[in-house]
Amino acid sequence: MKKSKEHSSVWNSRSAFRLKSLCLVVCLFGLILVLATRPISQSSLHGGTTGGDKSDGKVIPKGEAFLSKNKPLDSGSTLREEDSSDVEDTEDLDEENGVEKTAIAAADRTSADDDGEDGAETEKSETVLRQNPDGCDLFTGHWVADPLGPMYAYNSCRVLSQPQNCQDNGRPDNNYQFYKWKPQGCEIPRLDPIAFLKVMEGKTMGFVGDSLARNQYESLLCILLQVEDAKPTGNRNMQRWYFRNHKFTLIRIWSSFLVRQSSEPFSYAPDDSTKLFLDELDTYAEYIPRFDVVIISSGHWWMRKSAYIVDGEILGGYKWEPNVTEIDQGRAFSMAFETALRLIGEIPNYNGLIILKPYSPDHYQGGQWDTGGSCTGKTDPYSPEQAPRNSFNDMMRKRQMDALELVTKRLKTSKKRNGSKFTVLDVFEALNYRADGHPGPYRSKDPNKRTQRDEKGRPPPQDCLHWCMPGPVDTVNQLLFEILKRQLPKQMQ
């Protein structure tokens, strides 16, 4: 009897142990199953949060937040391209849900690779204001004859906007296509589109700006499409081209002022004025983390009637009389670039190359685009001694350069600085010599357009701001490539 009780006790003990063990195994299996099927957050995929507050995917006032790298580049964004009589619109590109998955994947891989390689090497934002290797000043020089002519024909590029297709629009001369830029102290090679694609292989480049940014963007596309076809996606406000063979994505985002703008009523600002929030970034800021290289520009939209707003208060305006005039047009322009450059330079973990393209000189004489200004009769470049000086153009360029210098100095001591690099594509002087390179009155194919002065001596309506294609704007991209070769040496190797 005693043995039976002892046997029963041992049996019960073993049964309890087995039951507990079974429960433990079941619990562990359940835990593993839960973890395996649990959705992984985007922040955990990229090492936690990226910093900054966000609200509904929008940039918070004062630009203290930015969108993470995983924000889709979709055609449904709030980016917009303004309609204007002096800014011609391109046709909408075909949309494929706004993005191409392959291009997005390539951009993500590029961002991840850069975070791993460059982040450890560069601890703070760097600035290279001018490219002077071996005494070569890329941006000081003169134009010389080029018997080879343009890198593409006006009728060989499907992305060329009609207002810049001067030959197709009936311009009788083509001398402006047969010049090349000769920098001081060196020779630069003709732009090789295959070499360009190899340097940018696996990377993403973005142009952010107005119609002049589009002008340069289309020029680069025309050059690259001569050697490799590409697939377009997106719309007029955000255009994307993906070069599959080189996994290179080229993007253009419209932002006329770089800072947030609004047409909605604000305080006592005139209803017909553009309200510019000089301490807040425009919506393009959300996409900057995707760009290995970004070219930023703005300029001639600042001639519009505007209210200048800082910290929720109107502190100035243009083409009207605000109660407070602490900020004039030039200072507002400078503040916009300070905001844009500083906040890009503070995006956590971003180590891209930020290229500032300064103000593009126009060549209106006798008035502006809407007051009878003209550039007709110019068929060859100016020499450096002949080039006209425009104090307003000079001032606007200086404001941009001062903003870049100020921001880079402040970032050196900022705890928020990232590993990005700043440089400048300073083609101001080179383009100032090219009054011959504008469309002038040849802005459309209209056979009845007026190209000569009327009986009262008034010039025809014309464009003396944008650039004919092919034309001087192609040289801007030649110089852009020289910068890339100097700033991206690993890719060249």
367-378 per-position pLDDT tens digit: 877 777 889 889
Instruction: Judge contact between 480 and 195, C-beta under 8 A.
Output: no
H or E element, residue 145: strand 137-145
Domain 50-492 has CATH 3.40.50.1110: yes
Backbone angles phi, psi at 354, to 5 degrees: -105, 120
Angstrom distances, CA of residue 249 to CA of 1, 110, 253, 370, 492: 86, 11, 13, 37, 18
With cut-offs at 50, 70 and 90, classify the pLDDT of residue 60: very low
What pLDDT sits at residue 458?
A: 85
Inform me whether the pLDDT recorded for 297 exceeds 80.
Answer: yes
**Residue whose pair of structure tokens reads 């350069």 in the numeric block:** 401
- pLDDT tens figures, 240-264: 999 999 999 999 999 999 999 999 9
- pLDDT tens figures, 159-206: 999 999 999 999 999 999 999 999 998 999 999 999 999 999 999 999
Angstrom distances, CA of residue 336 to CA of 57, 245, 413: 22, 38, 21
With cut-offs at 50, 70 and 90, classify the pLDDT of residue 134: low
- pLDDT tens figures, 228-238: 999 998 877 78
What pLDDT sits at residue 133?
A: 54
Instruction: Judge contact between 67 and 54, C-beta under 8 A.
Output: yes
Mean pLDDT of 393-408: 96
User: Worst-scoring range by mean pLDDT, 115-119, 152-156, 284-288, 315-319?
Assistant: 115-119
Q: Compute the distance between CA of residue 461 and CA of residue 364 in angstroms, rounded to an integer.
A: 11
Which amino acid belongs to residue 395? M
What pLDDT sits at residue 146?
A: 97
With cut-offs at 50, 70 and 90, classify the pLDDT of residue 394: very high
- pLDDT tens figures, 480-493: 999 999 988 654 43
Instruction: Judge contact between 445 and 163, C-beta under 8 A.
Output: no
Of the candidates 149, 181, 128, the residue with the CA atom closest to the CA atom of residue 429? 181
User: Worst-scoring range by mean pLDDT, 52-61, 292-301, 341-350?
Assistant: 52-61
Q: Compute the distance between CA of residue 164 and CA of residue 215 in angstroms, rounded to an integer.
A: 8
What pLDDT sits at residue 121?
A: 37
Q: Give the rounded percent of residues in the chain with a pLDDT score beyond 90.
A: 63
- The mean pLDDT of the chain is 80
Inform me whether the pLDDT recorded for 35 exceeds 60.
Answer: no
- How would DSSP label each residue in 267-298? TTS-TTSEEEEEEEE-GGGGGGGG-SEEEE--
Listed by start position, the domains of the chain span 50-492
313-318 vs 421-424, strand pairing mode: unpaired
In degrees, rounded to 5, the angle at the alpha carbon of residue 404 between the alpha carbons of residues 109 and 360 is: 90
Q: Three-state SS for 436?
A: helix
Mean pLDDT of 117-136: 52
Peptide bond connecting 470 to the previous residue in cis, omega within 30 degrees of 0: yes
What pLDDT sits at residue 236?
A: 73
- pLDDT tens figures, 423-436: 999 999 999 999 99
Inform me whether the pLDDT recorded for 16 exceeds 90.
Answer: no
**Residue whose pair of structure tokens reads 């696996």 in the numeric block:** 202
Quick count: other Cβ atoms within 10 Å of Cβ 18?
10
H or E element, residue 354: strand 353-356
The DSSP 8-state label assigned to residue 55 in this structure reads: B
Inform me whether the pLDDT recorded for 111 exceeds 80.
Answer: no
Q: Which residues are identified as catalytic?
A: 211, 463, 466
